[in-house]
Structure 1
Amino acid sequence: MSIADIRTDYTQASLSEQDTDADPMAQFARWFEEALVAQIREPNAMGVSTVSADGRPSSRILLVKDFDQRGFTWFTNYQSRKGEQLAIHPHASLLFHWLELERQIRIEGRVEKVSAAESDAYFHSRPLKSRLSAIASAQSSPVADRATLEARYAQAEAQYGDQPPRPEHWGGYRLQPDYVEFWQGRASRLHDRIVYTRAPDGAWQRQRLQP
C-alpha cells in the first residue's frame, strides 16, 4: 500500500453551531472532559508552534498544565528555542489532536509569562527528579554527550538534595486566545469546523468554516 492510499473515514460524531457553547473556553472544557472520560492517553498533550526572527516556524509537543478564562498555561525553559522565539514574537498557536474522538482544536493568541509566584507553585509541585532535570538541562543548547548531561544532573542532585530552587530561567507561559477552532471529523472529508474569533470589544463571534 502506498502512503497516498492510507485514509480513514470519520463517522463517530458531528458538530453544529447549536452543539457548541457561546464561550470557547467552556466548549474546550466540555471536550477536554470528554477526552478524559474516553481515557485518551495524555489528552493534555498539545503542539505548540512559534516563529523565529526571520519568520521560520517551529513546533513541538508540550503539556498544558492549566486552562481557564485567562488562557492556556504551560511551563518550560525561558532560554529554550521556543522561549527565545516568544521573546521576539509573543504569539503562538496550539493544537490538540484527539484521534480516538476524531477531533482537533486549534488555538491562536498572544503569549505572556505567568507570575513568578505561579511558576514557583507549579515548580515545587513537580516530582523531585523533574525539578533537578530543569536545573541540569540548558534546554535546546548543544551537549557533548549523554554522559555530560547525566553528570550535570548528578551535580544538581548533590548540590540541592531534595530542595532544588526554581531556576530563574524556568517558568510558565500563558496564551490568551483570540482564535479557537473546534474540528470534528466527518465522512467523505466534509468535516465540521466551528471557529470562534475575539472581537475588539472582547466578545466572541462564532461561525462555521468549510472543510
Structure 2
Amino acid sequence: MARPRRIVLLRHGESEGNADDTVYERLPDHALHLTRSGWHQAEEAGVRLRAMFGEERISAYVSPYRRTHQTFKALDLDPRRVRMREEPRLREQDWGNWQDAEDVRLQKVYRDAYGHFFYRFAQGESGADVYDRVGAFLESLHRSFEDPDHPPNVLLVTHGLTMRLFCMRWFHWTVAEFESLSNPGNGEFRTLVLEPGGKYHLDRPFERWCTPESYDVTG
C-alpha cells in the first residue's frame, strides 16, 4: 500500500456568496464565481503549495462547484505532475435550490442554536449527511492507496465545513469536538502529514470558537 506523505485540504477562495449572500436569490450555489479577492487568495495558496510539493506528483480531487474549479485553476500546478478528478462527494453542504437571503440567514441562526452537525436545512442537508458522503469518499480514497504507484501527495479542493467533517471522520472526533471548531478562511489549507509509525497528524489545528460540550450521562 502506497500511503501518501501528505493529504492537503484546501478551502476555495472567496466566492460571490461569501461577499454577498443575496446572490443566492439569483444564482445557484454551485455556479458562483470567485471574487477578485478569491482569485488572489487561490493564487497565494498556489505559491505555498507549489513550494510544498516541489517536483512530486499529486492526486487532486476537486468539488464540482465553479468556485472550487476556479480555485484549482488559480493554483497553477504543473499539469504534468497532477492527476485531477472531479469528486461530487466533496461538494458544499446543500442548502436547497433558489434561496431567499432572509430565510437563509434565519436558518443559519436556527442551525447555530440547534447544532451544525444535526441541523438540516429545509430543502437541503444536515452536517451528518455531509459526514456520511465524506465517509464514502474516504473508503474510495483508501482503496486508491492500494496502487503501489500512488502519488505521494493528495490534494482536496473543497469547502470549509467539508474540510472539518473530513478531519472528524479521519481522526474519529466526537460531534462535540466538531461543533467547537471554526471553518478555515478562504484560500487556507490544512495538511495531514504521515508519521514514521504510519499514522497521520494535522499540521495545525482548526481554530476553536468554544470549548467542546461534555454531555452529562448520569441523568
**Richer in helix (by share):** 2
Higher relative contact order (Cα pairs below 8 Å, separated by 6+ residues) = 2
TM over 0.5: no
**Largest Rg, 1 or 2:** 1
Q: TM-score w.r.t. structure 2 length?
A: 0.22
**Larger strand proportion of the pair:** 1
